[in-house]
Amino acid sequence: MTLNKKSNQLAGYSKWCLSLLLIFAFGCGDDDQPDPMPPAPAPDIEVRIVSVDPANNLFTLQNFGSAAVDISDFRLCSKFQYTPDLEGLTIVTGSLNLAAGATVTLSDWPLDEAGADLGLYQQTSDFEDADTMQDFVQWVTAGNGRESVAVQKGIWGSGEFIEGNGPYTYTGNGQQNGVDQWEASSSTVGPIIRILSVDPAADVFVLQNFGDEALDISDYRFCSRFNYTSDLSSLTINQGSLNLEPDATVEISGWDVDDTSADFGLYLPSGGFSDPDALVDFVQYGAGGIGREPVAVAKDIWSAGDFLTGTGPFTYQGDGTQNGLAFWD
Protein backbone atom coordinates (compact mmCIF):
# COMPACT_ATOMS: atom_id res chain seq x y z
CA MET A 1 0.00 0.00 0.00
CA THR A 2 2.82 2.32 0.77
CA LEU A 3 4.45 1.74 -2.63
CA ASN A 4 1.21 2.32 -4.50
CA LYS A 5 0.60 5.49 -2.53
CA LYS A 6 4.03 6.81 -3.42
CA SER A 7 3.45 5.89 -7.06
CA ASN A 8 0.20 7.74 -7.04
CA GLN A 9 1.82 10.75 -5.43
CA LEU A 10 4.58 10.70 -8.02
CA ALA A 11 2.10 10.50 -10.85
CA GLY A 12 0.13 13.40 -9.43
CA TYR A 13 3.29 15.46 -9.05
CA SER A 14 4.22 14.76 -12.67
CA LYS A 15 0.80 15.92 -13.86
CA TRP A 16 1.16 19.09 -11.79
CA CYS A 17 4.56 19.87 -13.37
CA LEU A 18 3.22 19.18 -16.83
CA SER A 19 0.31 21.53 -16.23
CA LEU A 20 2.69 24.23 -15.02
CA LEU A 21 4.82 23.86 -18.13
CA LEU A 22 1.77 24.18 -20.35
CA ILE A 23 0.74 27.31 -18.54
CA PHE A 24 4.16 28.90 -19.15
CA ALA A 25 4.21 27.71 -22.74
CA PHE A 26 0.72 28.73 -23.76
CA GLY A 27 -1.09 30.36 -20.91
CA CYS A 28 0.77 33.68 -21.26
CA GLY A 29 0.43 33.76 -25.01
CA ASP A 30 -1.74 36.91 -24.99
CA ASP A 31 1.08 38.87 -23.38
CA ASP A 32 3.41 37.79 -26.17
CA GLN A 33 1.09 38.95 -28.99
CA PRO A 34 1.87 42.38 -30.53
CA ASP A 35 -0.39 45.24 -29.47
CA PRO A 36 -3.08 46.17 -31.99
CA MET A 37 -2.05 48.94 -34.41
CA PRO A 38 -3.29 52.37 -33.26
CA PRO A 39 -5.67 54.13 -35.68
CA ALA A 40 -3.93 56.20 -38.32
CA PRO A 41 -3.97 59.91 -37.48
CA ALA A 42 -6.33 62.04 -39.52
CA PRO A 43 -4.46 63.68 -42.38
CA ASP A 44 -3.74 67.39 -42.05
CA ILE A 45 -6.18 69.48 -44.04
CA GLU A 46 -4.17 71.46 -46.58
CA VAL A 47 -6.87 73.48 -48.36
CA ARG A 48 -5.75 76.95 -49.41
CA ILE A 49 -7.24 80.03 -51.05
CA VAL A 50 -5.41 80.22 -54.40
CA SER A 51 -7.26 82.99 -56.21
CA VAL A 52 -9.49 85.94 -55.32
CA ASP A 53 -11.22 88.12 -57.93
CA PRO A 54 -13.02 90.84 -55.94
CA ALA A 55 -14.33 92.60 -59.06
CA ASN A 56 -16.31 89.51 -60.06
CA ASN A 57 -16.83 88.00 -56.58
CA LEU A 58 -14.96 84.82 -57.49
CA PHE A 59 -12.64 82.78 -55.26
CA THR A 60 -10.81 79.52 -55.87
CA LEU A 61 -9.69 76.96 -53.29
CA GLN A 62 -7.18 74.14 -53.79
CA ASN A 63 -6.43 70.95 -51.89
CA PHE A 64 -2.64 70.73 -51.51
CA GLY A 65 -2.94 67.56 -49.41
CA SER A 66 -2.62 63.91 -50.42
CA ALA A 67 -6.18 62.87 -49.54
CA ALA A 68 -9.60 64.09 -50.60
CA VAL A 69 -11.34 66.56 -48.31
CA ASP A 70 -15.05 67.40 -48.20
CA ILE A 71 -15.20 71.17 -47.56
CA SER A 72 -18.97 71.51 -47.88
CA ASP A 73 -19.22 72.83 -44.33
CA PHE A 74 -16.23 75.18 -44.51
CA ARG A 75 -16.99 78.91 -44.34
CA LEU A 76 -15.59 82.20 -45.59
CA CYS A 77 -15.22 85.45 -43.67
CA SER A 78 -14.56 88.96 -45.01
CA LYS A 79 -14.79 92.22 -43.05
CA PHE A 80 -16.73 90.43 -40.30
CA GLN A 81 -19.28 89.14 -42.79
CA TYR A 82 -19.65 85.38 -42.98
CA THR A 83 -20.93 82.91 -45.53
CA PRO A 84 -23.12 79.99 -44.67
CA ASP A 85 -21.48 76.64 -45.36
CA LEU A 86 -19.76 76.67 -48.74
CA GLU A 87 -22.39 74.31 -50.11
CA GLY A 88 -24.75 77.30 -49.92
CA LEU A 89 -22.70 79.23 -52.52
CA THR A 90 -22.62 78.84 -56.29
CA ILE A 91 -20.02 76.37 -57.57
CA VAL A 92 -18.62 77.73 -60.84
CA THR A 93 -16.20 74.85 -61.50
CA GLY A 94 -15.07 71.80 -59.55
CA SER A 95 -16.53 70.07 -56.52
CA LEU A 96 -16.57 70.71 -52.77
CA ASN A 97 -15.38 67.13 -52.32
CA LEU A 98 -11.86 68.22 -53.17
CA ALA A 99 -9.61 65.48 -54.47
CA ALA A 100 -5.88 65.79 -53.85
CA GLY A 101 -4.57 68.63 -56.02
CA ALA A 102 -8.05 69.65 -57.17
CA THR A 103 -9.54 73.16 -57.19
CA VAL A 104 -13.05 74.53 -56.82
CA THR A 105 -14.19 78.02 -57.82
CA LEU A 106 -17.13 79.63 -56.03
CA SER A 107 -19.13 82.82 -56.48
CA ASP A 108 -22.20 84.77 -55.34
CA TRP A 109 -20.72 86.29 -52.20
CA PRO A 110 -19.78 90.00 -52.39
CA LEU A 111 -16.18 91.11 -51.84
CA ASP A 112 -14.88 94.68 -51.48
CA GLU A 113 -12.68 95.50 -54.47
CA ALA A 114 -11.34 98.62 -52.72
CA GLY A 115 -9.79 96.63 -49.86
CA ALA A 116 -10.74 93.65 -47.71
CA ASP A 117 -9.63 90.41 -46.08
CA LEU A 118 -10.78 86.89 -46.92
CA GLY A 119 -10.47 84.06 -44.41
CA LEU A 120 -11.23 80.38 -44.95
CA TYR A 121 -12.46 78.49 -41.89
CA GLN A 122 -13.19 74.91 -41.04
CA GLN A 123 -16.74 74.41 -39.80
CA THR A 124 -17.06 76.86 -36.91
CA SER A 125 -19.11 79.56 -35.30
CA ASP A 126 -16.06 81.11 -33.61
CA PHE A 127 -14.20 83.18 -36.17
CA GLU A 128 -11.75 84.42 -33.54
CA ASP A 129 -10.38 80.90 -33.12
CA ALA A 130 -7.02 80.64 -34.89
CA ASP A 131 -7.22 76.83 -34.78
CA THR A 132 -10.23 76.79 -37.09
CA MET A 133 -8.83 79.36 -39.54
CA GLN A 134 -7.57 77.48 -42.57
CA ASP A 135 -6.17 80.33 -44.70
CA PHE A 136 -6.17 84.11 -45.07
CA VAL A 137 -5.41 86.84 -47.60
CA GLN A 138 -5.79 90.63 -47.63
CA TRP A 139 -5.63 93.18 -50.45
CA VAL A 140 -5.31 96.96 -51.01
CA THR A 141 -5.72 97.91 -47.32
CA ALA A 142 -4.54 96.51 -43.97
CA GLY A 143 -6.22 95.85 -40.65
CA ASN A 144 -9.34 94.34 -42.14
CA GLY A 145 -11.62 91.86 -40.44
CA ARG A 146 -9.76 88.84 -39.09
CA GLU A 147 -6.20 89.97 -39.82
CA SER A 148 -5.38 89.62 -36.12
CA VAL A 149 -6.50 85.97 -36.13
CA ALA A 150 -4.23 85.24 -39.11
CA VAL A 151 -1.33 86.99 -37.36
CA GLN A 152 -1.95 84.89 -34.23
CA LYS A 153 -1.96 81.73 -36.36
CA GLY A 154 1.33 82.77 -37.94
CA ILE A 155 0.13 82.77 -41.54
CA TRP A 156 0.04 86.54 -42.18
CA GLY A 157 2.06 89.58 -41.12
CA SER A 158 0.41 92.44 -39.27
CA GLY A 159 -0.33 95.36 -41.57
CA GLU A 160 0.55 93.48 -44.75
CA PHE A 161 -1.63 93.49 -47.87
CA ILE A 162 -1.38 92.79 -51.59
CA GLU A 163 -0.93 95.95 -53.61
CA GLY A 164 -2.48 96.44 -57.03
CA ASN A 165 -5.57 95.21 -58.80
CA GLY A 166 -7.10 91.75 -58.72
CA PRO A 167 -7.47 88.98 -59.49
CA TYR A 168 -4.96 87.99 -56.78
CA THR A 169 -3.13 84.68 -57.10
CA TYR A 170 -1.38 82.46 -54.54
CA THR A 171 2.02 81.37 -55.92
CA GLY A 172 3.23 79.23 -53.00
CA ASN A 173 3.53 75.46 -52.68
CA GLY A 174 0.77 74.99 -50.13
CA GLN A 175 3.11 75.20 -47.14
CA GLN A 176 4.19 78.80 -47.68
CA ASN A 177 2.30 81.67 -46.08
CA GLY A 178 2.09 85.43 -46.17
CA VAL A 179 1.86 88.31 -48.59
CA ASP A 180 5.11 87.31 -50.37
CA GLN A 181 3.33 84.23 -51.71
CA TRP A 182 0.65 86.33 -53.41
CA GLU A 183 0.69 88.53 -56.47
CA ALA A 184 -1.70 90.99 -58.04
CA SER A 185 -2.80 90.86 -61.64
CA SER A 186 -0.07 91.95 -64.02
CA SER A 187 -2.42 92.19 -66.98
CA THR A 188 -3.34 95.52 -68.51
CA VAL A 189 -6.23 96.29 -70.82
CA GLY A 190 -4.53 99.23 -72.51
CA PRO A 191 -6.29 102.47 -73.41
CA ILE A 192 -10.04 102.34 -74.10
CA ILE A 193 -11.20 105.59 -75.70
CA ARG A 194 -14.94 106.19 -75.88
CA ILE A 195 -17.26 109.01 -76.84
CA LEU A 196 -18.68 110.04 -73.46
CA SER A 197 -20.95 112.93 -74.45
CA VAL A 198 -22.29 114.66 -77.55
CA ASP A 199 -24.07 118.03 -77.35
CA PRO A 200 -25.25 118.79 -80.91
CA ALA A 201 -26.76 122.17 -80.02
CA ALA A 202 -23.49 123.47 -78.54
CA ASP A 203 -21.18 121.40 -80.80
CA VAL A 204 -19.32 120.11 -77.75
CA PHE A 205 -17.95 116.56 -77.52
CA VAL A 206 -16.35 114.72 -74.58
CA LEU A 207 -14.08 111.70 -74.85
CA GLN A 208 -12.91 109.48 -71.98
CA ASN A 209 -10.15 106.91 -71.52
CA PHE A 210 -11.74 103.93 -69.72
CA GLY A 211 -8.50 101.92 -69.92
CA ASP A 212 -5.46 101.62 -67.68
CA GLU A 213 -2.84 103.18 -69.98
CA ALA A 214 -2.50 106.74 -71.25
CA LEU A 215 -2.92 107.47 -74.96
CA ASP A 216 -2.24 110.53 -77.08
CA ILE A 217 -5.27 110.97 -79.37
CA SER A 218 -4.10 114.20 -81.00
CA ASP A 219 -4.29 112.62 -84.48
CA TYR A 220 -7.66 110.88 -84.06
CA ARG A 221 -10.55 112.13 -86.21
CA PHE A 222 -14.33 112.72 -86.06
CA CYS A 223 -16.81 111.78 -88.77
CA SER A 224 -20.48 112.86 -89.07
CA ARG A 225 -22.77 112.62 -92.10
CA PHE A 226 -19.72 111.86 -94.29
CA ASN A 227 -17.99 115.04 -93.13
CA TYR A 228 -14.62 114.60 -91.45
CA THR A 229 -12.37 116.60 -89.21
CA SER A 230 -8.67 116.81 -89.59
CA ASP A 231 -6.69 115.73 -86.52
CA LEU A 232 -8.35 116.49 -83.18
CA SER A 233 -5.39 118.70 -82.36
CA SER A 234 -6.79 121.20 -84.88
CA LEU A 235 -10.00 121.64 -82.86
CA THR A 236 -10.60 123.63 -79.67
CA ILE A 237 -9.76 121.90 -76.39
CA ASN A 238 -12.10 123.34 -73.77
CA GLN A 239 -10.99 121.17 -70.90
CA GLY A 240 -8.47 118.39 -70.38
CA SER A 241 -5.74 117.12 -72.66
CA LEU A 242 -5.57 115.03 -75.81
CA ASN A 243 -2.91 112.98 -74.01
CA LEU A 244 -5.62 111.05 -72.16
CA GLU A 245 -4.57 109.46 -68.90
CA PRO A 246 -6.61 106.52 -67.48
CA ASP A 247 -10.09 107.72 -66.44
CA ALA A 248 -9.39 111.21 -67.79
CA THR A 249 -11.74 113.13 -70.10
CA VAL A 250 -11.20 115.80 -72.71
CA GLU A 251 -13.85 118.26 -73.89
CA ILE A 252 -13.59 119.37 -77.53
CA SER A 253 -15.46 121.95 -79.62
CA GLY A 254 -14.99 123.87 -82.84
CA TRP A 255 -16.71 121.51 -85.30
CA ASP A 256 -20.36 121.76 -86.37
CA VAL A 257 -22.72 118.78 -86.32
CA ASP A 258 -26.42 118.61 -87.19
CA ASP A 259 -28.60 119.55 -84.22
CA THR A 260 -31.57 117.32 -85.14
CA SER A 261 -30.16 114.08 -86.54
CA ALA A 262 -26.73 112.74 -87.30
CA ASP A 263 -24.21 110.00 -86.71
CA PHE A 264 -21.00 110.73 -84.83
CA GLY A 265 -17.95 108.49 -85.15
CA LEU A 266 -14.46 108.56 -83.62
CA TYR A 267 -11.68 107.18 -85.84
CA LEU A 268 -8.06 106.15 -85.58
CA PRO A 269 -5.54 108.32 -87.43
CA SER A 270 -5.00 105.63 -90.06
CA GLY A 271 -7.46 103.61 -92.11
CA GLY A 272 -10.43 104.63 -94.22
CA PHE A 273 -13.73 105.84 -92.82
CA SER A 274 -15.47 102.76 -94.24
CA ASP A 275 -13.05 100.45 -92.40
CA PRO A 276 -14.53 98.93 -89.18
CA ASP A 277 -11.01 98.43 -87.83
CA ALA A 278 -10.41 102.19 -88.00
CA LEU A 279 -13.67 103.06 -86.23
CA VAL A 280 -13.16 103.53 -82.48
CA ASP A 281 -16.64 104.49 -81.30
CA PHE A 282 -20.02 105.51 -82.67
CA VAL A 283 -23.34 107.07 -81.66
CA GLN A 284 -26.42 108.15 -83.64
CA TYR A 285 -29.30 110.46 -82.76
CA GLY A 286 -32.54 111.74 -84.31
CA ALA A 287 -32.82 109.08 -87.04
CA GLY A 288 -31.34 105.78 -88.15
CA GLY A 289 -29.31 104.82 -91.19
CA ILE A 290 -27.17 107.94 -91.26
CA GLY A 291 -23.56 108.27 -92.43
CA ARG A 292 -21.30 105.50 -91.16
CA GLU A 293 -23.95 103.44 -89.36
CA PRO A 294 -23.13 100.39 -91.56
CA VAL A 295 -19.49 100.58 -90.44
CA ALA A 296 -20.54 100.58 -86.77
CA VAL A 297 -22.89 97.66 -87.44
CA ALA A 298 -20.08 95.75 -89.14
CA LYS A 299 -17.85 96.44 -86.12
CA ASP A 300 -20.67 95.18 -83.85
CA ILE A 301 -20.81 98.30 -81.70
CA TRP A 302 -24.19 99.56 -82.95
CA SER A 303 -27.38 97.99 -84.28
CA ALA A 304 -28.91 98.90 -87.62
CA GLY A 305 -31.64 101.51 -87.32
CA ASP A 306 -30.98 102.35 -83.65
CA PHE A 307 -30.86 106.00 -82.66
CA LEU A 308 -31.22 108.24 -79.63
CA THR A 309 -34.30 110.41 -79.35
CA GLY A 310 -34.52 113.91 -77.93
CA THR A 311 -32.38 116.96 -78.34
CA GLY A 312 -29.32 116.08 -76.28
CA PRO A 313 -26.83 116.36 -74.77
CA PHE A 314 -26.46 112.59 -75.11
CA THR A 315 -24.34 110.74 -72.54
CA TYR A 316 -22.72 107.30 -72.54
CA GLN A 317 -23.64 105.32 -69.39
CA GLY A 318 -21.56 102.16 -69.91
CA ASP A 319 -18.35 100.94 -68.29
CA GLY A 320 -16.15 101.36 -71.36
CA THR A 321 -16.61 97.80 -72.62
CA GLN A 322 -20.35 98.03 -73.30
CA ASN A 323 -21.69 99.10 -76.68
CA GLY A 324 -24.92 100.11 -78.33
CA LEU A 325 -27.98 102.24 -77.84
CA ALA A 326 -28.87 100.67 -74.47
CA PHE A 327 -25.81 102.33 -72.88
CA TRP A 328 -26.68 105.85 -73.98
CA ASP A 329 -29.03 108.33 -72.39
Give the DSSP letter string of 298-321: HHTSS-TT--B-SSS-EEB-S-SS
Amino acid at 101: G
Domains 47-183 and 193-327 share a fold: yes
pLDDT number for residue 78: 96
pLDDT number for residue 241: 98
In whole angstroms, give the CA distance from residue 128 to residue 72: 21
pLDDT number for residue 139: 96
Domain assignments of the chain as residue spans, ordered by start: 47-183, 193-327
pLDDT number for residue 7: 44
Helix (H, G, I), strand (E, B) or coil at 127: coil
pLDDT number for residue 17: 44
CB atoms within 10 A of CB 159: 11
In whole angstroms, give the CA distance from residue 83 to residue 120: 10
47-183 classified as CATH 1.10.3450: no
pLDDT number for residue 28: 41
pLDDT number for residue 23: 42
In whole angstroms, give the CA distance from residue 127 to residue 75: 10
pLDDT number for residue 127: 93
* pTM of the predicted protein model: 0.50
**How buried is residue 165: exposed, middle or buried, by Cβ count under 10 Å (0-12/13-18/19+)?**
middle
The alpha-helical segments, DSSP class H, found in 90-165 are 147-153
Q: Which residues face 182 on adjacent strands? A: 170
pLDDT number for residue 38: 52
Q: Among 1.10.1660, 1.10.10, 3.10.20, 2.60.40, what is the CATH number of 193-327? A: 2.60.40
Helix (H, G, I), strand (E, B) or coil at 32: helix
In whole angstroms, give the CA distance from residue 249 to residue 28: 94
In whole angstroms, give the CA distance from residue 96 to residue 61: 9
Going residue by residue through the chain (329 aa), what tens digit of pLDDT does each one get? 444 444 444 445 445 444 544 444 444 444 455 555 454 444 567 999 999 999 899 999 999 999 999 999 999 999 999 998 999 999 999 999 999 999 999 998 999 998 999 999 998 778 999 999 999 999 999 999 999 999 999 999 999 999 888 899 999 999 999 999 999 986 566 799 999 999 999 999 999 999 888 999 999 999 999 999 999 999 999 999 999 999 999 999 999 999 999 999 999 999 999 999 999 999 999 999 999 999 999 999 999 999 999 999 999 999 898 999 999 99
